Amino acid sequence: MLDHLTYTAPEPKTIQGAKQDWELVIGLEVHAQVASNAKLFSGASTGFGAEPNSHVAFVDAAMPGMLPVINEFCVAQAVKTGLGLKAAINLVSAFDRKNYFYPDLPQGYQISQLYHPIVGEGEVIVDMAPGVARRVRIERIHLEQDAGKSIHDMDPNMSFVDLNRTGVALMEIVSRPDIRGPEEAAAYVAKLRQIMRYLGTCDGNMQNGNLRADVNVSVCAPGAYERYQETGDFSHLGTRCEIKNMNSLRFIQAAIDYEARRQIAIIEDGGKVVQETRLYDPDRGETRSMRSKEEAHDYRYFPDPDLLPLEIEQGWVDEIAGAMPELPDEKKARFVTELGLSEYDAGVLTAEVESADYFEQVAAGRDGKQAANWVINELFGRLNKEGLSVETSPVSAAQLGGVIDLIGSGAISGKIAKELFEILWTEGGDPAQIVEARGMKQVTDLGAIEAAVDEIIAANPAQVEKARANPKLAGWFVGQVLKATGGKANPAAVNELVAKKLALA
C-alpha cells in the first residue's frame, strides 16, 4: 500500500562556516505517557492538574512494605502501541530497578525494563512531503514509571515535591539512529504522536509533558552512515550527545541545529566531542552540558524482586490486534485511492483522527473531493481563525453535508452556500429550512432572470454598445444581474441569457 512512497536519502549538509560537508545522525528516545486512568503499579489516579500530592498511593510514596501490582490496561496499551509501529511483541518481558537518588523519586529507583522490553523492533514511516517518506527503525519500547516533580520556584528558601506523577506509566520508544535532520526529527515525533492518538494509547499533549523526547545527535562525514548501515558497527558514527527532555517540536529542531554546529566546530578545530548529557536553553537557543554520560552499570540495574516476569499470551495479543483502529497511513491511502483526494488533502484530513472522522461523515454518500474542499477550505479555515477544533466546531458534519446537498440539487449557488455556512456558524439551524425560510433559493425561473437581464440592458445603452464591440465586456452585465438578484440567479442561465440578448439587441 505504501509502494508509491519514495524513500529519500538525506543530502549532506553544508553548514555555513564549516570547512567540509557533514551529515547529521539522530536517534530519539521518546517518553510517551500511557493513556490510562490509573498508574502502572498502583490504583492512584493519573489526572492532570490536581492538588499536589492528592494522587499518591502508598506504593507510589514508597511506604515500607508496599508492593507494586501491574496494571493490565497499561500493558495492553503498550502492546497496542507496538502493533501500531509494526513491531514484535515479546510474550515474556521483565522489570528491572534503575537505581538513583532524586528527591522526586521516593523509592530510590525507577522500575523500568532494561534487559527484556515488552516491545521489540518496529518501524515508523515519516512523511516529509507528498509521496516522499523516510523509514525510521524502532529498536524497542519498554514500560517504566515516571518520577514526581520538584518545585523550586514557589519559595525562596525551600523546594517542594509533588508526587502526583510518581508511578504514572510511560512507554519509552527508542529509535535507531536513522533520523538525518532537524525537520525529520520533528516529523518523526509528530508521526509517533499521530499514531498513538489514533490508537488512544497516549494523548500526545506535549505542553503537559505527556510526550517528550531525549534527542541524541552526532555528526559524521558523508558516507560514514552508509558504512554503519552495512555493517551495524556504531564506530563508523561520530560521538553523540543526548539533549534531555524536549517537549516542543520547534525546540527539538533548534536544539539539533545548534548541537550539530557546536560539534562540527569542535571537530574542525581539532578537538573531540565528549559524550555527555546536555540541556537545551530555549531563551538562549543553546545546549549546555548537564552531566557526563552515564552507563547502565552506573544505575546498578537488577531484576525487580517484587515483580514476576511479565508473561502474556499470543491469544491476548491477537485480540488486541483484532480491535486495532485504522491507522493514519492506511486511512490516508484509502482517501487517495477510494475518494480520489490528492495526497496533500488526504494528509491534512488525516492529521487528527477527529478531523478524519468529521470528513468521512461529510463525504458519506457525497463527492469526496467536494467534501474535502468544504472541510479544508471553509471549515478548517474558519476553525483556525477562531482557534477552535473540529470537536468544538459550531457547524456539525451533518449540517455541512446538508449545505453540499443543497448545492448538488441546484437549490443554491456556491456563493449563497458560503452565506449559508456563515449563518450555520453563527446561528445554527437546519440548512434546508434556512434556505427555504430566508428565500435564499437560486432563481432558476428563466422568465424572472430574463426580466432582470432586460432591465439592465435597457438601463445601460452605452455599455451595450461597448459590449457589442468587445464581447469580453459581457461579464459586466452578468455581474449586474447577479447583484440585482442578490446572487440568487443561476449563473449559468444568466451567462447564456446575457450573451443571447446582447447579440439580439
Could you give the C-alpha distances from 252 to 186, 211, 212, 246, in angstroms and in order?
7, 12, 10, 6
Q: What is the DSSP letter of 410?
A: T
- For residue 276, the SS3 value is strand
**Of 131 and 271, which CB lies nearer to ligand ADP in the complex structure?**
271
Least gap, CB of 38 to ligand ADP (angstroms): 28
Reference 435, options 395, 406, 410; nearest CA is 406
Alpha-carbon distance of 148 to 110, in angstroms, equals 11
73 vs 299 by CB, closer to ligand ADP? 299
User: Least distance from C-beta 237 to ligand ADP, angstroms?
Assistant: 4
State the nearest-atom distance from the C-beta of 258 to ligand ADP, in Å. Answer: 15
DSSP reduced 3-state for 182? helix
Query: How far apart are CB 79 and ligand ADP at their closest, in Å?
Result: 21
What is the grid cell recorded at 119?
A: 516491545
Taking the C-alpha atoms of residue 294 and residue 296, their distance in angstroms, rounded to an integer, is 7
d(CA 502, CA 505): 5
CA distance 66 to 443: 78
- Binders of ligand ADP among residues 151 to 210 (CB under 6 A) are 174-177
> Which of residues 266 and 446 has its CB atom nearest to ligand ADP in the complex?
266
Q: Which stretch binds ligand ADP (CB under 6 A): 12-20, 75-83, 215-223, 358-366?
A: 215-223
User: Nearest-CA neighbor of 293 among 252, 326, 244?
Assistant: 244
Contacts with 273 (C-beta within 8 Å, 6 or more apart), sequence order = 218, 238, 239, 240, 241, 263, 266, 267
Cβ proximity to ligand ADP: between 82 and 238 the closer is 238
Helices (H) and strands (E) in the chain, counts: 17, 16
Q: Which is nearer to ligand ADP, 278 or 488 (CB)?
A: 278
Out of 93, 145, 201, 218, which residue is the one contacting ligand ADP (CB under 6 A)?
218
> Where would I find the H helices in 428-490?
431-437, 446-459, 461-469, 474-484
The distance of closest approach from Cβ of residue 236 to ligand ADP in the complex, given in angstroms and rounded to an integer, is 9
**In the bound complex, what is the minimum distance in angstroms from residue 279's beta carbon to ligand ADP?**
15
Binding-residue total with ligand ADP (CB under 6 A): 16
Q: Which is nearer to ligand ADP, 28 or 171 (CB)?
A: 28
Distance CA 80, CA 89 (A): 9
Percent helix, strand, coil in the chain, to 5, is: 40, 20, 40
Cβ distance to ligand ADP smaller for residue 237 or 482: 237
Q: How far is the CB of 406 from ligand ADP (least distance, A)?
A: 53
Name the minimum Å distance from CB 124 to ligand ADP: 12
Alpha carbon distance 428, 106 (integer Å): 54
Contact 263, 218 (CB under 8 A): yes
One DSSP character per residue, 46-108 reads --TTPSTTSS--TTTTT-TT------HHHHHHHHHHHHHTTPPBPSEE--EEEE---TT-TTS
Stretch 19-58: interaction string toward ligand ADP, x if CB under 6 A: ------xxxxx-----------------------------
> Closer CB to ligand ADP, residue 259 or residue 343?
259
Find the residue with minimal CB distance to ligand ADP: 27
In the complex, the smallest distance separating the C-beta of residue 304 from ligand ADP, rounded to whole angstroms, is 19
Question: Minimal distance in Å, beta carbon 293 to ligand ADP?
Answer: 7
- Which residue, 148 or 238, is less far from ligand ADP as judged by CB? 238
How far is residue 374's CA from residue 274's CA, in Å, rounded to a whole number? 54
Question: Cα-atom radius of gyration of the chain, to the nearest Å?
Answer: 30
Stretch that binds ligand ADP, among 38-46, 231-239, 339-347, 422-430 (CB under 6 A): 231-239
Whose Cβ is closer to ligand ADP: residue 24's or residue 453's?
24
Rounded distance between C-alpha atoms, residue 467 and residue 477, angstroms: 9
What is the distance between the alpha carbons of residues 463 and 274, in angstroms, rounded to a whole number?
A: 80
- C-alpha closest to that of 256 among 139, 177, 146, 142: 177
Min. distance of Cβ 217 from ligand ADP in angstroms?
6
Q: In whole angstroms, how close is the CB of 280 to ligand ADP at the nearest point?
A: 16
Nearer to ligand ADP, 58 or 234 (CB): 234
Does 216 bind ligand ADP (CB under 6 A)? Our answer is: yes
Nearest distance from C-beta of residue 179 to ligand ADP, angstroms = 8
Q: What does the DSSP 8-state code read for residue 135?
A: E
**Site track 232-271 with ligand ADP (rule: CB under 6 A), x = hit:** --x--xx-x-------------------------------
Binding interface with ligand ADP (CB under 6 A):
25-29, 174-177, 216-218, 234, 237-238, 240
